[in-house]
Structure 1
Amino acid sequence: MGQVLGDVLGLAAAVAVSPLPIIAMILVLATPRGRLNGILFTVGWILGLSVLGAAVLAIVGPGGSSSSSTTGSQPATWVGVLKLVLGALLVFFGLRQWRRRPKGESDAQLPKWMASIDRLTPLKIFGLGVALAALNAKNAPLTIAAGASIASSGLPVEEQIASLAIFVVIGTLGLLAPLGVFLIGGDRAKTTLGGWRDWAARHNVAVMGVLFFVMGLKLLGDGISILTP
């Protein structure tokens, strides 16, 4: 299980520090029902990561790894192909994000949908959390890659579930930080979160570009090692 955690912790950390969901959380906390909406957003995020990861585990099933009497359980060939594809996708996203990074503070822009967060109902806030976790074209590949690593490890089902749970917890830390500040920070919370929001807005594109590029290279390396043992 230790080797699997080593594979997925980096992916979970990349999910956790993704600036866009953190900015969305800060905006959610600034809504009139910030406490309730923040909790619902976090629950939706956790559900999204869990469902996507569990879907990968279920789809892969027992055939996710191929056993060898001399080397133990090894990932199946298709897992290597999947990691190559996901790695190439992340490298592409990373290079595109880096090329689109703002050249100055005045050039930094947030997605237009963020302007409507304060008008969303609690149910839609919950759905937004699910969507940003499971349906986001940039974060979903990280979760799929983590699920593939866990499913192809040959671990018992209960250990696979535990590994996925650890991935989800680590991947949620980025949202728990602003939520914790909001819940216990008192009057200073708005100033602190405002500073975080401004920094993330300025550096969102560059940070994600570097993260995607690095994690993409890691997945490419993993895929190559599986296909060329």
Structure 2
Amino acid sequence: MGAAIGQSLPIAVGVLITPTAIIAVVLMLVGRHGGTNGLAFLLGWVVGIALVGTLVVLLVGGAHNSADAEPPTWTSILKLVLGLGLLALAVKEWRARPAPGSTPPAPKWMAAIDSFTAVKAFALAFLLGAINPKNLLLVVSGAATIAQATASTSEQLGALVVFVVVASIGVATPLVVYLVLGSRAASVLEGLKSWMTQNNATIMAVLLLVLGSKMIGDAITALS
């Protein structure tokens, strides 16, 4: 299980640093239903990542069910395709960087966050964690890496639990700040939101470039 955790950990960190999700949970925490919606958002995030990860682990792991067998070639090809997809997204994010001194426009749905119910907060987190193209590629990549690293189903699922926990730290951190600092958290969260908003594209471009290159390198090694 150690190999599965070690190989998938960098990808989990990529999911952890998802500026859009962090900004969304910060906006909820400073809104009218802060604590309730923040908890619902974290739950939706965890469920979304865990669901996609479990499906991929079961699918890819089913083709690698012998402890002595090498992973099938198609799993390495899948990692290569996923890596190329991450590189394509990295280029897209880099080109979307705001001009120096300008503030990037926020998605329209962010304006409605203050009126969200807990159900809507859960649904938004599920979509951002599991359906958003960038996160979907990362979660599928991480789960495929786990499934390819070990043939043991119990070890795969154990490594996936670690992956989900690490991938959720970014969303959980603002909630912890809110619960610990109470009314004093507003200025801290506002500063975090402003920094994430300004640097969103650059952060994601660099992360996707590094992770995509890693996936491609691992795939080439396995295929050679």
User: Under TM normalisation by the shorter chain, which class is it?
Assistant: over 0.9
Cα-Cα RMSD: 1.4
Q: Provide the secondary structure at the position in 2 that maps to 1:129.
A: helix
For residues 173 and 2 of structure 2, the distance between their equivalents in structure 1, rounded to whole angstroms, comes to: 26
Corresponding residue for 1:139? 135
For residues 139 and 108 of structure 2, the distance between their equivalents in structure 1, rounded to whole angstroms, comes to: 25
Corresponding residue for 2:52? 52
Amino acid of the structure 2 residue aligned with 1:189: A
1:42 aligns with 2:46: no
- C-alpha contact 2:84 2:212 (8 A) present in aligned 1: yes
Give the Å deviation of 1:48.
Answer: 0.3
- C-alpha contact 1:83 1:223 (8 A) present in aligned 2: yes
Corresponding residue for 1:109? 105
Corresponding residue for 1:13? 13
For residues 195 and 110 of structure 1, the distance between their equivalents in structure 2, rounded to whole angstroms, comes to: 16
Amino acid of the structure 2 residue aligned with 1:196: L
Corresponding residue for 2:182? 186
Q: Which runs of 5+ in 1 are unaligned?
A: none
Give the Å deviation of 1:65.
Answer: 6.0
Superposition pairs for residues 1-229 of structure 1, below 5 Å? 1-64=1-64, 72-228=68-224
Q: Pick which of 57-66 and 128-137 moved more.
A: 57-66
For residues 129 and 184 of structure 1, the distance between their equivalents in structure 2, rounded to whole angstroms, comes to: 22
Amino acid of the structure 1 residue aligned with 2:174: P
Please identify runs of 4+ aligned residues in structure 1 that moved more than 6 A: none
Q: Pick which of 122-131 and 146-155 moved more.
A: 146-155
Q: Which runs of 5+ in 2 are unaligned?
A: none
Please give the TM-score of this superposition, normalised by the length of structure 1: 0.93
Give the Å deviation of 1:182.
Answer: 0.4
- C-alpha contact 2:65 2:151 (8 A) present in aligned 1: no
Give the Å deviation of 1:101.
Answer: 0.5
Please give the TM-score of this superposition, normalised by the length of structure 2: 0.95
Amino acid of the structure 2 residue aligned with 1:182: Y
Q: Pick which of 13-22 and 58-67 moved more.
A: 58-67
Amino acid of the structure 2 residue aligned with 1:16: L
Amino acid of the structure 2 residue aligned with 1:57: V
For residues 41 and 112 of structure 1, the distance between their equivalents in structure 2, rounded to whole angstroms, comes to: 18
